[in-house]
Amino acid sequence: MKHKSRLLAPSIIPISLWDPTRDVLKLPALISDTYINLVDTMGLRELGTTRDPKSGPVGGISKESTEQHFAQAFDGSAARALLALLDPKLEAGSTSNTFIRCTAGNRISLTDAPCGAGAASFTFLSALAELRAEKILPRLPLDVHLIGAELSIHARELAANILAQINPSLIEQGIFVSSEFVSWDVTNQNSNTDLVTKCIQTSTKSDYKLLVVANFSGFLERESKRKDAKKQLDELFRYASGERSFALWIEPHMNSATSGGGLLSWIHRQFTTIWKGFGTTEVNGEDENSYISESRFLLPLQPSQTARVGLAVVPIILDRKS
């Protein structure tokens, strides 16, 4: 996307979020400080500073796996969401514009599935608050109805805790969040129907609908659950589509997501065949299945150090065809 078409031009991104001289992202202080506080409160600092960058945790439903994933991967997932939103190198297509248009004001139904501990949606909202505080974006009243869908009860509890901590600062910037964190098993038809029903109920009075799917390739690809999840994803996208409805599918830049047989290639094919009545994907060229970007970000627990974050993202316009 050309610079002049961007609602958030790279030149106006505040230094509090992006250092152009070093090509380094900085997580919004609101989410970074909350992450640090919870890591220390939960006694996870040693775990958080002894991660293996070549083999990060996938997560799971147990308390132990949830805590490991939070300590070692939450900041990276947050940095990936921030890279998608800021897109300082103009490499992510309409991703930035999609989010900013959906959150300019009025009401939005935001579904984060799977939400984990909320890294994607909370980073989006915290960055939005930062951009409003810096007077980059106008502080118009925004009502957000957030549905966080996640199988692990421990991750859902952690997400609710994080939101409780960041909510006062969001309110200061005119962002009013009501939330539901619900159990969701993408391989189970009844569980998925329950989620779809909630999405329909909360979106009836919304001006925009935004579905965020982030960091799902570990479960769908590495754990070989794509086939079991397909019918439920059919249903989710069918009912998420409609007027002023959008989706962002965000993954790490890894072969399991971006290769010819990877998850995002499959997603793109679905929208050219079975899901073409639900909407269209935006991709980066005829032979590409996603937009790719890469940066480094400051580690919240070790602020003198940086780590790499890779992004693969597919913006989706869910303009249901009649």
Instruction: Sketch the domain layout of the chain as residue ranges.
Output: 23-49+58-317
The helix (run of H) or strand (run of E) holding residue 316 is strand 302-317
Instruction: Indicate the burial class of 182 (C-beta count within 10 angstroms; 0-12, 13-18, 19 or more).
Output: middle
pLDDT value at residue 284: 76
Task: Give the DSSP per-residue string, 29-70.
Answer: HHHHHHHHHHHHHTT-HHHHTS--TTS-----SSHHHHHHHH
pLDDT, position 53: 66
Pairing between β-strand 302-317 and β-strand 245-251 as defined by DSSP bridges: antiparallel
- 274: left (phi > 0), else alpha (psi -120 to 50), else beta? alpha
315 CB-near residues (< 8 Å, 6+ apart): 92, 93, 94, 95, 98, 246, 247, 248, 281, 282, 291
**Of 114, 113, 111, 171, whose CA–CA distance to 146 is shortest?**
111
Name the nearest CA neighbour of 78 among 145, 7, 25, 3.
25
Residue linked to tokens 């399991």: 256
Q: List, as one string, the DSSP characters of 146-188.
A: EEEE-S-HHHHHHHHHHHHHHHHHHHHTTEEEEEEEE---TT-
Name the residue among 174, 71, 163, 156 with its Cα closest to residue 123: 163
pLDDT string in tens for the chain (322-residue length): 556 689 999 999 999 999 999 999 999 999 999 999 999 999 999 999 987 766 667 667 889 999 999 999 999 999 999 999 999 999 999 999 999 999 998 999 999 999 999 999 999 999 999 999 999 999 999 999 999 999 999 999 999 999 999 999 999 999 999 999 999 999 999 999 999 999 999 898 899 999 999 999 988 987 789 999 999 999 999 999 999 999 999 999 988 888 888 899 999 999 999 999 999 999 876 667 899 999 999 999 999 999 999 999 999 999 987 5
pTM of the model: 0.95
User: Which residue in 88, 93, 64 sits closest to 9, CA to CA?
Assistant: 88
Superfamily, domain 23-49+58-317: Vaccinia Virus protein VP39 (3.40.50.150)
Tokens of 268: 């793109």
